Amino acid sequence: MSLHKIEHIGIAVKDLEASNALFTKLFGKPQYKIEEVASESVMTAFFESGPNKIELLQATHPDSPIAKFIEKKGEGIHHIAFAVEDIEAELKRLSNEGFELIHKVPKKGADQKLVAFLHPKSTNGVLIELCQDI
């Protein structure tokens, strides 16, 4: 068990429509998916660049984690997500290694994934997301 490849990099944005236009120009192609994750009060858009993915995240509620992040730090990289084969086993392993878990139980996230986050206090200030295909 371990973290596999980087699954995606999440970027917090104020205006998803404007950011989609910007990243469409950057990558030379439009996003492949726009999806709302109501449980996180966020609207997401995914772009592919070769084997890599970028997730843009816009808050849909002023009290959401993304809204709070942008208020505190501004737009920018929000998290790095890693693919795992068995998210529950990986959460247990990382907890045993001393990492602080934001989610002890995975939940449904965007892009047909089960997700859970590690607290940045235990990862040198970087929010880490674990992702498992559903």
pTM of the model: 0.92
- Cα gap 89→85, rounded to integer Å: 9
- For residue 123, what are the contacts with CB-CB under 8 A and spacing of at least 6? 99
Helical (H) or strand (E) element with 59:
strand 52-59
Tens-digit pLDDT profile for residues 88-123? 999 999 999 999 999 999 999 998 999 999 999 999
What local confidence, expressed as pLDDT, does residue 1 receive?
A: 61
- Ranges of the chain with pLDDT below 70: 1
What local confidence, expressed as pLDDT, does residue 127 receive?
A: 96
